């Protein structure tokens, strides 16, 4: 297991695979996760040790889990090393858990490295079970993930960006603190039907940001989450229609990721 020291009172807290499963059983979550170790992705020796520990912990979590109403997912690790990623994907897939997660990506590696690791891992995971890419949530990453076979995502990015006064759109990001939005009476996106876009202009949102009003983060969170939900709905519809590949190519061609991002956002 692993021992943490509280930043509040300095007390020590021990987390073992069995303890983590017991806590999640008590919480009653529909999907629960095996305990894993997520090291920096570039150090091979560190990733080899972390992967072995993650595999051992996954087996212990599986043995400790007894609630059939909760789906336990194992987590594949391996950094940016294709052979480690393949080994981990095979091991986690062979545990025959209800779902498989991919951890240790979007933690400092390049987009190309992340995509390369997804190309290694996803074909090796069971195709009849949900595949969950952890900690990834920008629009372009969602589309690239679904293109490769990812089913589930989670990320703090939409609300963290909102707290940093940044709005997501289907073509890129808007930094609402920029002076250029001071007189714009249009919504964040013309055809967006979220509460924020239906009631407030870019100029008013910029005013809230400059004034450091909490309402700015609330409204931008509403918009960013709404946009990502609609993006996932659109992808499901395109997949069902058999036109997803064409749609994804058009979306990625139109979307312009930020060249540089505040550190708090880049580490999401």
Segment 31-61, tens digit of pLDDT? 999 999 999 999 999 999 999 999 999 999 9
Domain C-terminal end among 115, 131, 155:
155
Are 118 and 183 members of one domain?
no
How many structural domains compose the chain? Answer: 2
> Tell me: the pLDDT tens digits for 166-201?
999 999 999 999 999 999 999 999 999 999 999 999
Return the pLDDT at 259: 53
Are 20 and 146 members of one domain?
yes
Are 137 and 46 members of one domain?
yes
* Dihedral sign for Cα atoms in the order 193, 245, 146, 137: negative
Return the pLDDT at 267: 32
Q: Helix (H, G, I), strand (E, B), or coil: what is residue 268?
A: coil
How many Cβ atoms sit within 10 Å of the Cβ of residue 48?
18
CA pair distance 163, 44, nearest whole angstrom:
35
The answer to the question of residue 231 being in a domain is yes
Whole-number percent of the chain with pLDDT over 70: 96
Are 98 and 207 members of one domain?
no
What is the average pLDDT score of the chain? 94
The answer to the question of residue 28 being in a domain is yes
Are 93 and 182 members of one domain?
no
Quickly list DSSP for 128-184.
Answer: TS-EEEET--SHHHHHHHHHHT--EEE-SHHHHHHHTTEEEETTEEEETTSGGGTT-
Are 79 and 209 members of one domain?
no
Are 151 and 21 members of one domain?
yes
Mean pLDDT along residues 201-205: 98
The answer to the question of residue 257 being in a domain is no
Strands 12-15 and 31-33: unpaired
CA pair distance 225, 157, nearest whole angstrom:
10
Q: List the domain range (segments joined by +) for residue 232.
A: 158-237
> Tell me: the pLDDT tens digits for 54-109?
999 999 999 999 999 999 999 999 999 999 999 999 999 999 999 999 999 999 99
Are 102 and 163 members of one domain?
no
pLDDT at 268 over 60: no
> Could you tell me the pTM of the whole model?
0.90
CA pair distance 27, 265, nearest whole angstrom:
29
Judge contact between 161 and 137, C-beta under 8 A. no
Return the pLDDT at 262: 36
């Amino acid at each position: 297991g692993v021992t943490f020291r509280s930043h509040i009172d300095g007390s020590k807290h021990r987390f073992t695979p069995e303890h983590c499963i017991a806590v999640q059983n008590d919480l009653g979550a529909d999907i629960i996760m095996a305990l894993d170790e997520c090291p920096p992705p570039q150090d091979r020796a560190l990733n080899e040790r972390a992967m072995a520990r993650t595999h051992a912990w996954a087996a212990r979590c599986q043995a400790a889990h007894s609630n059939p109403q909760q789906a336990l997912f194992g987590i594949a690790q391996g950094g940016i090393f294709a052979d480690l990623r393949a080994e981990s994907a095979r091991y986690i897939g062979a545990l025959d858990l209800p779902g498989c997660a991919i951890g240790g990506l979007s933690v400092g590696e390049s987009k190309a490295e992340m995509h390369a690791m997804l190309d290694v891992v996803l074909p090796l995971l069971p195709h009849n079970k949900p595949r969950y890419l952890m900690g990834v949530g920008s629009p372009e990453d969602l589309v690239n993930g679904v293109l490769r076979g990812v089913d589930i995502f989670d990320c703090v990015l939409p609300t963290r960006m909102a707290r940093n006064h940044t709005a997501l759109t289907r073509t890129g990001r808007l930094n609402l603190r920029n002076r250029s939005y001071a007189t714009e009476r249009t919504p964040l996106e013309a055809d967006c039907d979220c509460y924020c876009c239906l009631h407030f202009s870019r100029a008013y949102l910029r005013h809230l940001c400059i004034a450091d009003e909490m309402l700015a983060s609330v409204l931008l969170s509403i918009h960013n989450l709404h946009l990502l939900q609609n993006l996932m709905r659109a992808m499901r519809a395109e997949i069902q229609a058999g036109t997803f590949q064409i749609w994804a190519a058009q979306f990625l061609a139109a979307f312009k990721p930020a060249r540089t991002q505040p550190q708090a956002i880049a580490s999401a």
